[in-house]
Structure 1
């Protein structure tokens, strides 16, 4: 995190509402555009961005951001969009086609934020024990079920669950409390 991020985070923790306003003014547009690029629903996207900042304010005391505030806010927005897609349940397969690309390339700044977030996640995952890392990647990157992973690696599904649980605990510790809740 930059010194500016640390200062504004410290101000947030001291209940400085102006710090929240500064963050909102700085990031609402880019966060809105990144969510609108996926959902194409103005009101829903406005609500998502509002929720991100409300969550930031409500969880300010326990925030432990290890990445930049910009990347953190982007990640929160991204996972709220995913939650919205799941909530709608009228999901069409084409909605998921190139979802990562549509999120990532809304504009140059979101591309950079996505890169920073992916880098932090990959860096954290690379610290996992080999077997745990393999199980996590098969689960998250290839969307394999626990059963499929167990069969592929000749291990029990319980062992797969344990590896994924361990990976998520490490990510939670590395990426921060609020983000990890959204990530899970």
Structure 2
């Protein structure tokens, strides 16, 4: 017997937009709470979760989930958060190098 998430995932793969909406409605708040807890910024967290759902829709035909849908979405969120922190670290490194360049140039 298939779970509701398995049924929704099958419908999502078949490009059923109502299944996407159900997944979004069901998991949005959970994912947002996790992101806010990790980042501490509501607007940025909303952007990251929104990006996750955009990716889910765009990759719906190629998604292979070996765990449950909930576990997959949380894992995908952690990946997005990791990418954000890595990008932020690289950005800060460049700013520090620019500051040194400006300081040395004076």
How far has the Cα of 1:76 moved from its partner? Answer: 0.5
Where 1:15 maps in the other structure, the secondary structure is coil
How far has the Cα of 1:60 moved from its partner? Answer: 0.6
Counterpart CA distance in 1 for 2:37 and 2:10 is 32
Q: In terms of Rg, which structure is larger?
A: 2
Where 2:61 maps in the other structure, the secondary structure is helix
CA offsets per residue over residues 99-141 of structure 1, 9 Å max, x none?
A: xxxxxxxxxxxxxxxxxxxxxxxxxxxxxxxxxxxxxxxxxxx
Bigger RCO of structures 1 and 2 (CA < 8 A, at least 6 apart) = 2
How far has the Cα of 1:3 moved from its partner? Answer: 2.5
Give the alignment's TM-score, normalised by structure 1.
0.47
Give the alignment's TM-score, normalised by structure 2.
0.79
How far has the Cα of 1:4 moved from its partner? Answer: 1.7
Where 1:74 maps in the other structure, the secondary structure is helix
Counterpart CA distance in 2 for 1:14 and 1:76 is 21
Structure 1 stretches of 5 or more lacking a match?
92-184
Runs of 4+ in 1 over 4 A off after TM superposition: none
Structure 2 stretches of 5 or more lacking a match?
94-106
Where 1:61 maps in the other structure, the secondary structure is coil
2:8 paired residue number: 8
How far has the Cα of 1:56 moved from its partner? Answer: 0.7
What is the RMSD computed on CA atoms of the aligned residues?
1.4
- Structure 1 residues 1-184: aligned runs within 5 Å: 3-89=3-89, 90=92
